Amino acid sequence: MDQIKIGRFIAARRKEQKLTQLQLAEKLGITDRAVSKWETGKSLPDASIMLELCGLLRITVNDLLSGEAVSMENYNEKTEKNLIEMARQKELADKRLLQIEVFICIISSVFLLAMLLLAVYINIPDWLRFVLIGTGFVQFVPAMLLALRIEQVAGYYKCAKCGHKYIPTYLSVNKAMHFGRKRYMKCPECGRKSWQSKVISKSE
Ligand SMILES: [Zn+2]
């Protein structure tokens, strides 16, 4: 998707509707800085307000993502291209999230280990040992819950029995036995349990 082209298109349609950036922003309940960022191609409108924005600009979501009014004859082709591009961007974002998860796990584990080693091997009063151990776990638990949350929402789990790909609930991810990112879970499609691996794309 060409953000610059989309930005120019938004600006042009906004002016056609005789709206200032501020007026458009107010109708959408956002800041005029956000509108300015779209129009200069620095960001894309959030999916959550895309429909409302398109309504105000009197265009379709397809027009918006194409950065131009799409004619009826190549409408389907443009729709397909936009859908593929959005899927690709989601895959990239998911990959980045999973890298962040690894980073969180490493930093948090190293910190916990350091606190435990200090508490055990350094000659300090007992209360200070407890403080060190406590500090280690107090940062470790939320870090692991956050990592788990990332693992739940980024990409999909793939059933080893039927190949079905889905996003499991937080609870089922949380309580599942796991080995690295592989989790032993029940497939919502075929109902069988298997070691399911993480995949980024629906077509993997
Ligand atoms: Zn299955």
Neighbours of ion ligand 1 (CB under 5 A): 159, 161-162, 164, 187, 189-190
Residue 77 domain-assigned (yes or no) = no
Residue 81 domain-assigned (yes or no) = no
Model confidence, pTM: 0.65
Domain of 140 in residue numbering reads as 92-154
Max alpha carbon distance in the chain (Å)?
Answer: 79
pLDDT reported for residue 76: 82
In the DSSP assignment, the letter for residue 72 is G
pLDDT reported for residue 182: 93
- Paired residues of 156 in beta bridges: 199
pLDDT reported for residue 204: 67
Are 110 and 149 within one domain? yes
Are 181 and 196 within one domain? yes
For residue 40, how far is its CA from the centre of ligand 1 (angstroms)?
46
For residue 168, how far is its CA from the centre of ligand 1 (angstroms)?
12
For residue 153, how far is its CA from the centre of ligand 1 (angstroms)?
19
Are 15 and 36 within one domain? yes
Cβ atoms within 10 A of the Cβ of 21, count? 19
Residue 78 domain-assigned (yes or no) = no
Are 146 and 172 within one domain? no
Q: Which helix (H) or strand (E) holds 73?
A: none
Are 55 and 24 within one domain? yes
Residue 82 domain-assigned (yes or no) = no
Burial of 140 (0-12, 13-18, 19+ CB in 10 A): middle
For residue 70, how far is its CA from the centre of ligand 1 (angstroms)?
40
Ranges of residues in the chain whose predicted pLDDT is under 50: none
Residue 101 domain-assigned (yes or no) = yes
For residue 68, how far is its CA from the centre of ligand 1 (angstroms)?
42
pLDDT reported for residue 69: 87
CA distances from 185 to 102, 175, 181 (A): 21, 9, 12
For residue 192, how far is its CA from the centre of ligand 1 (angstroms)?
6
CA distances from 94 to 49, 54, 153 (A): 21, 27, 8
Q: Which residues of 97-110 are buried (b: 16+ CB within 10 A; e: fewer)?
A: bbeebeebbeebee
Length of the chain: 204
Are 18 and 40 within one domain? yes
Q: What SS3 state is found at 58?
A: coil
pLDDT reported for residue 71: 78
Are 160 and 148 within one domain? no
